[in-house]
Amino acid sequence: MRALQSLNERRSVPSRLLGEPGPSAAELESLIASAIRVPDHGKLTPWRLILIRGDQRRRLGELLVATQLRRNPETPPAVLDKDRQRFNFAPLIIAVVARVEENHPKIPAQEQLLSAGCVAYNLLLGAQALGYGAQWLTGWAAYDADIAAAFALAPGERIISFIHIGTASETAPERLRPAVADVTSEWTAPE
């Protein structure tokens, strides 16, 4: 029941509410070691992690601004400022990269992608178990070809999440969850 209680207490803490301190080196290693214990059909390891810390957070924000301005020089200043600040709150951001082999002879691409999603979710659960707040964000940068190039993503790789991790400055509010009965049904074989 303790593990279920932990799941029931999981909350996304908005990244703007995350600050120092972040996980220590030992905590980070434990967090990652736990996070990668996911279903992985065929042992493909269809994911990898990229840590974004320190001044690299600011530099990533500046890259987002430069990319926006290249595409649309008329981008409103408020949009640019949001992109500039996007990675400056949490002391640690982990980009989860899915490494999907689309035409694998045995392992469907969907299973590979879901394995990477499990890693991202385990990072959220693990961060909370260590006493930190975390939020899974994507945003346009996760889907942008220029940003992918800046992360040196290989063919078949894509960012599926930016996991922001830090110390929460306030408790994240609970949100309305669906009733179990509204999302559950029994399967019966066709006659």
If residue 188 lies in a helix (H) or strand (E), which one and from where to where? Answer: none
Token representation of residue 178: 């669906």
Asked whether residue 64 is assigned to any structural domain, the reply reads no
- The model carries a pTM of 0.94
CA distance 161 to 29: 19
Per residue of the chain (191 residues), what is the pLDDT tens digit?
Answer: 788 888 888 899 999 999 999 999 999 999 999 999 999 999 999 999 999 999 999 999 999 999 999 999 999 999 999 999 999 999 999 999 999 999 999 999 999 999 999 999 999 999 999 999 999 999 999 999 999 999 999 999 999 999 999 999 998 888 899 999 999 999 999 99
Domain hosting 103: range is 13-55+89-169
CA separation (Å) from 81 to 28, 66, 67, 110, 185? 30, 11, 13, 35, 46
- Assign residue 119 a region (left: φ > 0; alpha: ψ between -120 and 50; beta: otherwise): alpha
Number of domains in the chain: 1
38 found inside a domain: yes
Q: Is 122 part of any domain? A: yes
Can you give the pLDDT at residue 154? 96
- CATH code: domain of residue 107: 3.40.109.10
* Mean pLDDT, the chain, whole residue set: 96
Q: What is the pLDDT of residues 36-85, one digit of tens each?
A: 999 999 999 999 999 999 999 999 999 999 999 999 999 999 999 999 99
Task: Give pLDDT, residue 27.
Answer: 98
User: What DSSP assignment string belongs to 26-66?
Assistant: HHHHHHHHHHT-S--GGG---EEEEEEETHHHHHHHHHHHH
The verdict on residue 131 lying in a domain is yes
Residue 139 lies in a domain: yes
Asked if residue 61 belongs to a domain, the reply is no
In a domain, 120, yes or no: yes
